[in-house]
Amino acid sequence: MKRNTILIIILLLWSLSPFLWQVYTSFSTTTSILKPFSFIEHKWTLQNYIKVIESNPPFWRYLLNSAIVGSTSTILTLFLAIPASYAISKSNNHQRKITKIFLFLTSLFPYVLLFLSLLEMARKLNIGNNLLALSIPYSALSLPLAILLLSSAFQDLPNDIEEAARIEGLGLVQRMKWILFPLIAPATASTAIIIFLFSWNEYPIALTWISKSEMITLPVAIARIAGSSVFSVPYGAYAAATVLGAVPLMIIVLLFQKQIISGLTQGAIKG
């Protein structure tokens, strides 16, 4: 038991300390940042946060942009994935197997390699610099996993429940509304959170599609900060930015840990 406690403490330190170090730096004055281990003369400050919040465009703008892209992508993905998953769960074994293998392979694909062609498409269709348009590639990239998760949720529903509803006179739309949606709600929630996290965090496509600084998403904003600061020492403001960028996600993970874990594990077991 003792050994496990020590291991768990090491695990927690390993998981949290890089982030805690950012928090520590973000509250330190520039002189204290240069001597991080001189605890006696350490001076605390909120100045770094004020700098980040007052920057132009203000930092919350990036959070808002990411939240918008995250939500629209999630909605669009679910809108496409739920009917598709239902169809797959109702198709015969052979078709289902082939579709699932195809989806599994696409979900393995390192999507970074797609950026060039997607950029060309965005230019041709003139949808660069448009937050809502960004949800189209995000949905496409999330669809394979979303369909895998939701189709196994549909498959797990006992057939006879839907049949009982059919005999009672419920049409497809009514069955969806009264029976199927409520029953796959937990799987839908898990899927939605995983799509949201992906869209919130996505970098290469957002980087190439969006150039207007008031439209960039959080990861791109952070990378720009990084790019502009390669050799600059006053890191305090950057640390404050990373903390502000990380906190909303940490809240999401802690609130929805059950859904996230069940979503990932369902993906592994059934995928």
Partner 1 sequence: MNILLLLPALILIFIVFVIPIVRYYWLSIHASSVMTGLIPVPNNGSNWLRILSDDRFWQDLFQTLRFTFTSVTIEILLAIVIALLLNQKFQGRGIIRAISLLPWALPTTIMALGWRWIFNTPYGPIEQIFTLLGIGTINILSNPHLAWIATVIADVWKTTPFIMIILLAGLQTIPSDLYEAFKLEGGTEIQSFFKITFPLLQPYLIISILFRIAQAFGVFDLIQVMTGGGPANSTESLGLYAYINSMRFLDFGYSATIIFLTFIILIGFCILGWLLISQSKRFLSSEI
Partner 2 sequence: MTLILKGISRSINRNWIIKELNFEVDDGECLAILGPSGCGKSSTLRVIAGLDKPDEGEIYINNIDVTNVSPVARRVGMVFQNYALYPHLSVASNLSLGLKVRGVSKVEQRKRVSSILSVLQLDHLSTRLPAELSGGQRQRVALARALLRDPLVYLLDEPMSNLDAQLREELRPELRRLILNGQQPVLYVTHDQQEAMAMADRIALLNNGFLEQIGTPEELYKNPRSIFTAKFIGRPQINFLKFKDGLITAVRPENIYLSREGYQCKVIYKEWLGMNQLLFLESSLGSIKMICKSDLKVNEKVTVNWDTKDEFQFDTHTGKRLDKAITKSKQIISR
Q: Which of 99, 174, 201, 262 binds partner 2 (CB under 8 A)?
A: 174
Q: Nearest CA to 70 among 191, 204, 202, 199?
A: 199
Going 123 to 118 to 142 to 252, the CA torsion angle's sign is negative
**Residue 171 CB, nearest approach to partner 2 (Å):** 8
Q: Which amino acid is at 203?
A: Y
Q: Which of 134, 180, 239, 240 binds partner 1 (CB under 8 A)?
A: 239
Q: Which amino acid is at 53?
A: I
* Phi–psi pair at 44, nearest 5 degrees: -95, 155
Residue 41 in contact with partner 2, rule: CB under 8 A = no
Cα–Cα dist 139/146, whole Å = 9
Residue 176 in contact with partner 2, rule: CB under 8 A = no
Exposed / middle / buried, residue 246 (Cβ in 10 Å: 0-12, 13-18, 19+): middle
**Six-digit token pair at 6?**
């020590």
Residue 165 in contact with partner 1, rule: CB under 8 A = no
Q: Which does 158 bind (CB under 5 to 8 A by kind): partner 2, partner 1, none?
A: partner 2
Residue 237 in contact with partner 1, rule: CB under 8 A = no
CA-based end-to-end distance of the chain = 35
Residue 210 in contact with partner 1, rule: CB under 8 A = no
Q: For Cα atoms 99, 175, 188, give the angle at the middle one, nearest 5 degrees.
A: 55
**Residue 250 CB, nearest approach to partner 1 (Å):** 6
Going 190 to 195 to 200 to 202, the CA torsion angle's sign is positive
Q: Which amino acid is at 140?
A: A
Cα–Cα dist 126/129, whole Å = 9
**Residue 166 CB, nearest approach to partner 2 (Å):** 5
Residue 260 in contact with partner 1, rule: CB under 8 A = yes
Residue 204 in contact with partner 1, rule: CB under 8 A = yes
Q: Which of 179, 189, 223, 225 binds partner 2 (CB under 8 A)?
A: 179
Residues 39, 40, 41, 42, Cα dihedral to 10°: 30
Residue 159 in contact with partner 1, rule: CB under 8 A = no
- Which residue lies nearer to partner 1 by CB, 153 or 239? 239
Residue 156 in contact with partner 2, rule: CB under 8 A = no
Q: Which of 164, 226, 253, 261 binds partner 2 (CB under 8 A)?
A: 164
Residue 91 in contact with partner 2, rule: CB under 8 A = no
Map the footprint of partner 1 across residues 90-119, applying CB under 8 A.
Answer: 90-91, 99, 103, 106, 108-119
Number of residues forming the site for partner 2 (CB under 8 A) = 16
Number of Cβ within a 10 Å radius of residue 68? 17
List residues near partner 2 by CB under 8 A.
158, 160-161, 163-170, 174, 178-179, 182-183
